Amino acid sequence: MSVQEQKPHIVMLPFMAQAHMLPMVDLVRVLAKRGLTISILATPHNAGRFKTVIDRAIATGLDIHVLHLKFPCSEVGLPDGCENFDMLASGDDVFKFFKAIDMLKEQVEERLRQLEPSPSCLIADACFPSWATTIALKLHFPRILFYATTCFALLCQHIQNNCKELDAITSDTEYFVMPGLPDRIELTKAQLRGAPNNPSFEWNEIWDEMRKAESEAFGAIVVNTFEELESEYIKEYKKAIGKGVWCVGPVSLCNKDYADKVERGNKLVSTAENEYYLQWLDSKEPGSVIYVCLGSQSSPATLQLIELALALEASNRPFIWVLRNASEESQKWILEEKFEERSRTGGS
């Protein structure tokens, strides 16, 4: 194929956390359906999480390639195979995880150099350090940032980082009107904060790198949002950062097939279990079921879990509650109080 006939070749570098990785894998298929060649750089464990979905896409004729990176777990003191944010056991492991990400620089550069045809651009998650931009510039193509969140959240974060007025607010629980937003919205410092209170030197380094990556990247960023959802916030965010914003969402709509929807995440429940939950949902009135899931990283403390459990029970509504890594103490309470049995008529 001549240079003139070559399709654009996009390289994707997803961050190793479910809420970041899954939207980027969706975007991979969206772009591939437009006739582009797509290469995904991922560690073996993370690639395994989306292998079934990507293999099915490749089988339809989409030009997608998965290239593995070795995640340096042992070099930073993480257990072998600990390659995703939801596998971290403690707050200290977060810093080890970001240190390991920093050590991927040489591997990523080597992979990008070897690719044929040469990449047209690198779309890297915004959580990757500025070295991704440095490598792209060195190899003569742009690094484009990808954000899986909304422009509302990004604008709030930008204001938080740049508005001196907020420094005068010392209370974590006092509500204030967030300046610079198109609407009157009241928040507290605790709600706004995207990092721990009194962040350590390590946290500050991580956030500084992300801000540096945003400022140095190509003149437009890709965001998993859409104009009809938050047009004013998109407009204000463009103005605030002085870059273009390409709204490509919601990318999850690319999941048309039933199999793509249920196999999109990490672990697929058995077919029998999946059918049980679907039949249970079908037996309930539309709009009657409460769904509770605190994400792939949050594990409530036992007292929080008990309060949430009692509130769900008191609602007298059917519910599905997804629990991640409940502590032994929490599991003991659930068993001793026979909570599942008590709520069986209302929830699952």
pLDDT digits (tens, 9 = 90+) for 54-99: 999 999 999 999 999 999 999 999 999 999 998 888 778 989 999 9
For 75-79, 284-288, 338-342, which range has the lowest pLDDT when averaged over its residues? 338-342
In a domain, 220, yes or no: yes
CATH code where residue 210 lies: 3.40.50.2000
In a domain, 263, yes or no: no
| 47 plus 195 within the same structural domain | yes
Q: Tell me the Ramachandran region of residue 243: left when phi exceeds 0, alpha when psi lies from -120 to 50, beta otherwise.
A: beta
- Determine contact, residues 188/172, Cβ cutoff 8 Å: yes
Q: What is the count of structural domains for the chain?
A: 2
Q: Which of 9, 26, 125, 158 is catalytic?
A: 125
Q: Is 20 a catalytic residue?
A: yes
Q: Which of 9, 20, 26, 158 is catalytic?
A: 20
| 197 plus 310 within the same structural domain | no
> pTM, whole model, 2 decimals?
0.84
What the block records as the tokens of 186 is: 């009241």
Q: Which domain holds residue 226?
A: 3-254
| 199 plus 232 within the same structural domain | yes
Give the pLDDT band (50/70/90) at residue 15.
very high
Which residues, in sequence order, are CB contacts of 63 under 8 Å at separation 6+? 7, 32, 35, 36, 37, 38
E strand or H helix at 81, and its extent?
A: none
pLDDT of residue 269: 61
